Amino acid sequence: MKQPSNKWLHVGIWLLALGIVFGIGYTLYNYQKTEDNALAFGKSQLAVINEAAINTLELEIDACSLSLESIASEIDEENDGPSKANQTLVENFFTNIPYGKALYLLSNKNELIQGWGYEDSASRLTTRTTLPESLMLDKDYETLLQSAVPTNGSSYYYQQRSYLNYYYPIVDQGKHLGVLVVPLDLQELYQAKIVLPTNHGLNGYTMVKNADMRIIMHPNEEQLGLTIVEDRKKLYPDLDYSDLERLEKAQRTQKAGTMDYTSYWWDQENHSKVQKLAAYQWVEIGHARWIVASNLDYGQRNQPVLQKLQFTLGLLVFLLAVIILFTFGFRNYFRKNQYYQETLRLKERQELIEERHALEKSFLQESKLETIGLLTTSIVHDMNNFLTPMLGNIELLLEEHQEEPLLHEDLQEIYRAAEKGRQLSQNVLRFSRSHQSESTTQEIVPVVQDALTVIRPLIPKRITLAIDFQADAKATFATDDLQTILFNLMTNSYQAFEKNGQITISTVWANSVQAKNYQEQSSIPGEQRFLVVKIADNGPGIPKEIASQIFTPFFTTKSDNGGTGLGLFIVSSIAKRNDWLIELDSSETGTEFRIVMAVAPAE
């Protein structure tokens, strides 16, 4: 019996693959053709929209001219010059031309005869008695004052707004008597009359630039006065302007045209690169030479059609990929599964090794602590043996030499030093024993003051010690426990200073966050009050990378200076034993430790 042949299976797979490849090619052809047609149609449609915007601008300028013509025809004359305009016609002018900011009647000698305008805060028409200097920002101002033809000047900027002066001459029997001048706010004209070319939620707008490529009309008023490339580069230096530079070059050299390019929507806060269509045309209105450009989001406009083709193309590519993956899938499956199982075994082995290493490290740490405890106890016992006879003999000497003041004072100093040594040894013994120190209910602030009295002589004179006790209460604790914490924290603080500095010790009532944090680590009832003892300095601070390790035994950054790494470990141990909360805030400007204590109920 012959082995079954898989020839027809291979033939079927190849025929299916060829069919899918042909489908991909055909879809790509249709996609490109559709995109070209959509691009051509979009450009032609945008050119029509841009032409409509240009017509709107020209009609609005003509409307301004007609309104001024009706005023000029009714102006009274006196001494061969204009004297007074019809108030009703002036009011009608501002109603018909709301973007006209003011109206001035001038003599042919540039003297103001009458002026009208709406103040920003008033809704009624007011007279103007002075001629603003802003009118003269029009470079054609002097020339057009003497012109006998109604026309407008060039656009100009004033207070970050764009304006255009329109001049209507008053002529009687061929004699030039004066002129009506109105500054038109181009941005208001744009917002009121230039219909945006987009609808159905599509992005796009029409904008106007002058001959210097500076923006004079734009949906975003912050863009007014900017050049479309150079000034935007200064404001948004991280954006890509290569296509925008190409557009500017084309607009400078061509009278009209269309283009597709990539840019950003400058009327939106988030500047994401998009593909745009642009139609532009240079236009001359009076003495103003502008380029009117309309933009449309090409990708957004043609997205539905292109998405269908992209979906079809993606589906075909996916089917081809499935066939390829299917061919190699089963062969690689068993190999990958084998690798996966081997990786799991190696990972489990590594985890066991790490667990054993951590356990050994923990045992070694505990062994170190036990050894140090035994060594410390032995040393302190020997110290007590030295100090006890010393104290007794000094007491005898004090009694024998009471009549010698100088010697008696020196003996008292020696006695106090020896007594401090014995208290220190008792503290060390108490910490190394398993039982707790005797706790009593006492005021917190006096205990803190006693600790400051003891440690102040040890602090260098270049370190300032500030005290701010804003709160006090009673709590149940051992005096030596709180003072030991203060000694260690203050020692760490002044040792961190290389130059002058300040350490501040203060007490305040705990806020709600501190009370909540305390209750999360303890079973203290919700109505309990808490007092905070703060130890703050303006030193270099604790680096963030080691802040989580500072309470670990033997961890120190002062090994070269004799640091043991036990100071903050002792602080943490005492706090846990007394059910206190320790908080830490540290930065480059200083460090603050906070000891949150539950106070005793009021009697």
Distance between CA 506 and CA 535 in Å, rounded? Answer: 7
φ and ψ at 114, to 5 degrees? Answer: -145, 155
Tokens representing 560? 């070269």
Question: Where do runs of H (alpha helix) occur along 97-148?
Answer: 141-145
Distance between CA 385 and CA 603 in Å, rounded? Answer: 44
Percentage of the chain with pLDDT > 90? 19
Does 334 score more than 60 pLDDT? no
Tokens representing 366? 């505990």
Distance between CA 579 and CA 595 in Å, rounded? Answer: 10
Tell me the CATH number for domain 7-301: 3.30.450.20
φ and ψ at 161, to 5 degrees? Answer: -130, 155
Lowest mean pLDDT, pick from 60-74, 193-207, 250-264, 567-581: 193-207
Residue 163 pairs with which residues in a beta bridge?
Answer: 156, 185
**pLDDT one-digit tens code per residue, 344-371:** 888 888 887 777 776 666 556 655 656 6
Give the dihedral sign, CA 254/256/262/265.
Answer: positive
**What pLDDT is stored for residue 182 in this prediction?**
95
**What pLDDT is stored for residue 152 in this prediction?**
93
* The two domains 7-301 and 437-598 share their CATH topology (first three levels equal): no
**pLDDT one-digit tens code per residue, 84-131:** 888 888 888 988 998 988 999 998 888 898 899 877 655 677 888 888
- In the block, residue with structure tokens 């028409």: 125
The stretch 279-289 carries a mean pLDDT of 93
The stretch 517-541 carries a mean pLDDT of 81
Q: Are 503 and 465 spatial neighbours (Cβ–Cβ below 8 Å)? A: yes
**What pLDDT is stored for residue 208 in this prediction?**
94
**What pLDDT is stored for residue 249 in this prediction?**
92
Helix (H, G, I), strand (E, B) or coil at 483: helix
* Long-range CB pairs of 324-333, under 8 A, 24+ apart, other chains included: 327/13
CATH 3.30.565.10 fits 437-598, yes or no: yes
Q: Are 166 and 64 spatial neighbours (Cβ–Cβ below 8 Å)? A: yes
H/E/C letters for each residue in 375-391? Answer: HHHHHHHHHHHHHHHHH
Does 211 score more than 80 pLDDT? yes
**pLDDT one-digit tens code per residue, 136-180:** 999 999 999 888 899 999 999 998 899 999 999 988 777 888 899
Q: E strand or H helix at 511, and its extent?
A: none
Q: Which residues are within 8 A (CB) of 552 and not within 5 positions of it... i.e. 6 or more apart?
A: 565, 569
551-578 in b/e form (b: 16+ CB < 10 A) is: bebeebeeeeeeeebbbbbbbbbbbeeb
DSSP character string of 185-197: EHHHHHHHH---S
Distance between CA 480 and CA 469 in Å, rounded? Answer: 20
Residue 509 pairs with which residues in a beta bridge?
Answer: 531
Provide the whole-model pTM: 0.48
**What pLDDT is stored for residue 179 in this prediction?**
92
Q: Which residues are within 8 A (CB) of 145 and not within 5 positions of it... i.e. 6 or more apart?
A: 106, 108, 110, 167, 179, 181
Which candidate, 496, 506, 502, places its Cα nearest to that of 463? 502
In the chain, what are the domain boundaries?
7-301, 437-598
* Long-range CB pairs of 111-120, under 8 A, 24+ apart, other chains included: 113/81, 113/82, 113/83, 113/84, 113/178, 114/84, 114/85, 116/90, 118/94
Does 239 score more than 50 pLDDT? yes
Distance, C-alpha 449 to centroid of its chain: 45
Distance between CA 546 and CA 561 in Å, rounded? Answer: 18
No. of H helices and E strands in the chain?
Answer: 13, 20
- Cα–Cα distances in angstroms (integers) from residue 16 to residues 4, 215, 312, in the given order: 22, 57, 17
Does 565 score more than 80 pLDDT? no
Does 189 score more than 70 pLDDT? yes
Tokens representing 388? 């006890």
Does 464 score more than 70 pLDDT? yes
**What pLDDT is stored for residue 197 in this prediction?**
47
Does 434 score more than 50 pLDDT? no
Helix (H, G, I), strand (E, B) or coil at 162: strand
Which candidate, 343, 315, 285, places its Cα nearest to that of 56? 285
- In the block, residue with structure tokens 């840019």: 263
